Amino acid sequence: MRTSDVDILIVPGWSSSGPDHWQSRWERTLKTARRIEQENWVVPEREAWVGRIIETAVQSTRPVVLVAHSLGVAAVAHMAKIVPKGFVSGAFLVAPADVDDAANWPETEGFTLDGAASGFAPLPLDPLPFPSVLVASSNDPYCRIERATELAAAWGSTLVEAGDAGHINGASGHGPWPEGVLRFGTFLQTLAE
């Protein structure tokens, strides 16, 4: 598949993705991409976030491919438990936020998140009902690489280790993220097989 063959739904994480974040750049440059907007980016509620993903996917006219980052990955994992097989064609999951260890996350823009209180913990460990790739960093402050490896195995995702890439966001120097574009293109090609 090519980007023009699918509806690319951008699923940002906690506090959304700023204008220089690779997700925002993809949203601006990929013709079939659109962002899933949440009512509250700072005080997320699992059911609301999952519902918004489903609502947006239902409105799609082409096969749906999710592109999730951070807490958006957790929202996708929760969504996967309640949608039928075939509802989503694939998911490109980047820098998962380990909500089960949210107490150890660094402060972000003056905020902290209690993963259990927001309903995202525990993370589902059921296989995802669609093909997926999980891109993880060896020094992500929101998810240890060992945990990302466990999540990829549980979800049936292909794990891509990105090296010392931080949280794979603007703050870690991943605004344009050309490697991510190449990985995403390769992933889309596998969906056509």
Question: Where are the domains positioned within the chain?
Answer: 3-191
What is the arrangement of strands in the sheet containing 90-96, beginning at the earlier edge strand? 33-35, 7-11, 64-70, 90-96, 132-136, 158-161
pLDDT at 171: 83
Over residues 50-73, mean pLDDT: 97
Superfamily of domain 3-191: Alpha/Beta hydrolase fold, catalytic domain (3.40.50.1820)
pLDDT at 19: 92
* Both structure tokens of 52: 């918004």
pLDDT at 146: 98
Alpha-carbon 15 to chain mean position: 13
Over residues 109-136, mean pLDDT: 83
Over residues 41-66, mean pLDDT: 95
pLDDT at residue 115 is higher than 80: no
pLDDT at residue 112 is higher than 80: no
d(CA 87, CA 131): 12
